[in-house]
């Protein structure tokens, strides 16, 4: 703030010997302000001296009033400056404020379902598996069966079910980006209905699934089955783990599968070989079979998956 200069309204210069200066030592304080009687000049009458004295007092008061106003203005400016320079500490947030904010977010935000999150995570690693007849010149491809597989190594190693590819002269896989490739069977685990495929060509950015141990898997945990039921897909269905360490005998009675994960997410022919995943999109099993006491091969609420530990060993891997 620019300070305004203060000017004195008094006629005194303050220098010794000047008109109106303070008396020098030895001089009488009664010396007249104009001229001495010896000079023959007349003294101003008392009626003129009183107004002069009053004017002097008013001038002094005005001078002090301006000084006071300037001092107050400076103090106000300093107070504002200090207030602006002082640190502003945030107000303490109570737990009730946090709870209210979280509740408002849950009420206003649209959160994806656990199955939707799981599907988005696993989708890049899910492949369609087709078992084909031997090609014949001049004839279209003949599809023997269709199933699902899941990439477990980003070099093109795929887990699926043995019954999807068994006896097929030719196997083709289709990746998430649409790329199709022939695949060869590199390992079999008949006791657990498992097969390991190796794709001959793969996408540049092929993603592999994350596998998770079933040690802490519990009945009631959310799971999703992702695959190509009846060749339609990729499709996702959600459910829960409904049992552990189950046994299942194939309808033909050829093999007894043991230590299976039971689940109630919808699965149908074509889901075979696909991943059973947690809400985090991690593979805990390979969908293998469905239970149906009738002759119809449709889902009625009970499906089975081979634990991923068993399936990974089929591929020569021991991740757990």
Q: Which residues are catalytic?
A: 163, 193, 272
Using CA atoms of 102, 104, 108, 114 in order, give the dihedral in degrees to the nearest 10. Answer: 30
Q: Round to whole Å and give the CA distance between 312 and 94.
A: 49
Task: Tally the C-alpha atoms within 13 A of residue 183's C-alpha that lie toward its C-beta.
Answer: 33
Q: Round to whole Å and give the CA distance between 41 and 39.
A: 6
Long-range CB pairs of 289-293 (<8 Å, 24+ gap) are 289/193, 289/248, 289/250, 289/257, 289/260, 291/248
Phi, psi of 59 (to 5 degrees): -65, -40
Q: In sequence order, what are the residues at sequence separation of 6 or more whose Cβ sits closer than 8 angstroms to the Cβ of residue 294?
A: none
């Amino acid at each position: 703030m620019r300070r305004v200069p203060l000017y004195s309204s008094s006629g005194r210069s303050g220098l010794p010997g000047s008109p109106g200066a303070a008396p020098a030592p030895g001089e009488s304080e009664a010396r007249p302000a104009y001229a001495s009687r010896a000079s023959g000049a007349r003294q101003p009458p008392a009626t003129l001296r009183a107004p002069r004295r009053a004017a002097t007092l008013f001038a002094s008061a005005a001078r002090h009033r301006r000084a006071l106003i300037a001092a107050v203005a400076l103090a106000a400016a300093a107070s504002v400056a200090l207030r602006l320079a002082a640190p502003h500490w945030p107000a303490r947030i109570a737990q009730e404020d946090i709870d209210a904010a979280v509740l408002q977010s849950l009420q206003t935000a649209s959160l994806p379902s656990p199955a939707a999150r799981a599907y988005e995570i696993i989708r890049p690693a899910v492949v369609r598996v087709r078992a084909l007849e031997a090609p014949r010149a001049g004839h279209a491809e003949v599809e023997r069966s269709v199933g699902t597989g899941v990439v477990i190594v980003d070099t093109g190693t795929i887990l699926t079910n043995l019954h999807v590819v068994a006896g097929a002269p030719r196997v083709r896989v289709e990746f998430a980006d649409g790329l199709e490739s022939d695949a060869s069977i590199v390992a079999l685990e008949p006791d657990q209905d498992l097969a390991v495929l190796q794709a001959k060509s793969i996408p540049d950015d092929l993603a592999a699934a994350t596998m998770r141990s079933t040690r802490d898997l519990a009945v009631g945990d959310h799971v999703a089955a992702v695959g190509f039921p009846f060749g339609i897909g990729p499709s996702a269905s959600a459910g829960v783990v409904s049992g552990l360490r189950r046994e299942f005998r194939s309808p033909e009675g050829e093999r007894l599968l043991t230590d299976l994960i039971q689940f109630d997410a919808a699965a149908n022919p074509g889901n075979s070989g696909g991943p059973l995943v947690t809400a985090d999109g991690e593979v805990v099993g390979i969908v293998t079979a469905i239970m149906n006491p009738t002759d119809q091969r449709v889902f009625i609420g009970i499906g089975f998956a081979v634990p991923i530990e068993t399936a990974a060993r089929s591929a020569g891997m021991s991740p757990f």
